[in-house]
Amino acid sequence: MTEPAELPQLRTTDQHAEGALDIPDGVQVLEGSPEGGRRGIAVVVARFNGEITSRLLTGALEELDRAGVAREAVTVVPVPGAFELPLAALALAKTRRYSCIVALGCVIRGETAHFEFVAGEAASGLQLAAIETGVPVSFGVLTTESAEQAEARLDKGAEAARTALEMADLFSQLRASAAQAR
């Protein structure tokens, strides 16, 4: 009988996002940290459902404070609604002034198909803005059935800020790693 192969030692990574990965030793890992430092951050926020989005914005700004982002390094850009978030995020990302963009909005299902159009276009448009520019854009858009569900998910503003910072740091490390490889 042969002995079973020894499994590689695994290390666990556990950031703010739900879930953890077991990564075997011996591989290079690039992982961002949700810390601010001297990064310029843009927050684009929908005015529609302002009673919810204002609180998402407060949560995001408090999280950026905790992460060490100076208030003067943060630019807040209000837009009419969630449908307009992608266009503003794309314009902000194209300026190259910001390490990341935090997009905040709230779409609550109504009695028409409007919800599906707005929520879907906001999601795909924000992803496209990030892909086209290479600037991380985090998705802090609530898509709920009711205002009560939106109220229960107000931590999404802080989560979106942490995600944006983590991705900005990861991209910074990736660029530094690529420059060293030359």
- Residues labelled catalytic: 114
| C-beta of residue 49 within 8 angstroms of C-beta of residue 106 | yes
φ and ψ at residue 76, rounded to 5 degrees: -105, 130
Indicate the burial class of 79 (C-beta count within 10 angstroms; 0-12, 13-18, 19 or more).
Answer: buried
- Which residue carries 């609180």 as its tokens? 55
Cα 25 to Cα 12, 13, 22, 65, 91, distances in angstroms: 10, 12, 9, 34, 41
Q: How far apart are CA 34 and CA 16, in angstroms?
A: 8
Greatest CA separation for the chain? 70
What single-letter DSSP state applies at residue 6?
Answer: P
